[in-house]
Amino acid sequence: MAFDLATHFGRAAAWPHGEDDEHPLIIGIAGGSGSGKSTIVQSVVDIVGADVVVQFPHDAYYRIQDHLTYEERLQINYDHPDSLENELMVEHLAALRAGQSVDRPVYDFSSHTRAAETVRVEPEAVIIVDGILVLAEPALRDLMDLRVYIDTDADLRLLRRLQRDIVERGRTVDSVLSQYEATVRPMHLQFVEPSKRYADIIVPEGYNPGAIGTVTSMIRHFLAERNAPV
C-alpha cells in the first residue's frame, strides 16, 4: 500500500518553512522504545549524507549516577523525564542552533552512568534529535523545526527492545521484562504516547520507506534552498 502524504502528514506537507536561513534545521523524532527511531534516523543519515546530517540522541543525556551504587542505579526509572538532564541538552541544542560546536555526553548503559569521554558535535546543516521523550519536553520542542512521531505496535516494540538490550547493552531477559512491566509501559502511556499530539508527522507501522523518502525529500529541498551540498 502506497504511503499517502496528504493523509498522514497533513499540515507538515507544506514544510520546510525556510524562513530562517541562519540556523541548522532541527528535526525531532520520538516514539516508544523499540519503535524503530534509530533505524529511521540511520536511514535518513545514509540517504542524505553523514557530512550534512548529525544524530543527536536524547539517551546520551541520562544523568550522572556516580554517587549511587550499581544496585541503586538499577532502581532508577529511566523512562521518566526526570532521569534525563534535559536542561543540558537544551543548552547544547541551542548552541548548535547558534552555530557553535558542543561536547555531548556519552552514556554507558552497562554501568548505568555517564562515561568519562564526550563526543564533539558540529553544527551541521541538519540535526536529528531522537528519543522516546523528545516531544514530551516543551523546551526541546521549541527548538525543533519539524516533529516526527513513530507509531509502532506495543508487541513489536517489546520484541525489538529485548533484542537491543540483550545484544547491545548486556542485559538479561528477566531484567528487560521486569523493567518493561515496572516502568517502560507505564511511562509510555503517561508521557510518550500523549506526546504524539505535538507531532507534525506521524509515521505508522514503525519503519516506513515511504515516510523516510518523504522526509529525506523535504530535507533535500531545504538544503537546496540553502545551497548546501547534498
Would you say residue 7 lies in a domain? no
Domain tally for the chain? 1
Looking at residue 209, what is its pLDDT? 83
Spans of the chain below 50 pLDDT? 1-18
Specify the pTM.
0.84
Looking at residue 207, what is its pLDDT? 72
Would you say residue 92 lies in a domain? yes
The CATH number of residue 80's host domain is 3.40.50.300
C-alpha to C-alpha distance for 178 and 221, rounded to whole angstroms: 45
Q: What is the 3 state secondary structure string of the chain?
A: CCCCHHHHHHHHHHCCCCCCCCCCEEEEEEECCCCCHHHHHHHHHHHHCCCCEEEEEHHHHECCCCCCCHHHHHCCCCCCHHHECHHHHHHHHHHHHCCCCEEEEEEECCCCEEEEEEEEECCCCEEEEECCCCCCCHHHHCCCCEEEEEECCHHHHHHHHHHHHHHCCCCCHHHHHHHHHHHHHHHHHHHHHHHHHHCCEEEECCCCHHHHHHHHHHHHHHHHHHCCCC
Looking at residue 33, what is its pLDDT? 85
Looking at residue 1, what is its pLDDT? 37
Would you say residue 6 lies in a domain? no
Would you say residue 189 lies in a domain? yes
69-119 pLDDT tens trace: 999 998 899 999 999 999 999 999 999 999 999 999 999 988 889 999 999
Would you say residue 18 lies in a domain? yes
145-154 pLDDT tens trace: 999 999 988 8
Looking at residue 150, what is its pLDDT? 93
Would you say residue 209 lies in a domain? yes
Residue 112 grid cell:
548505568
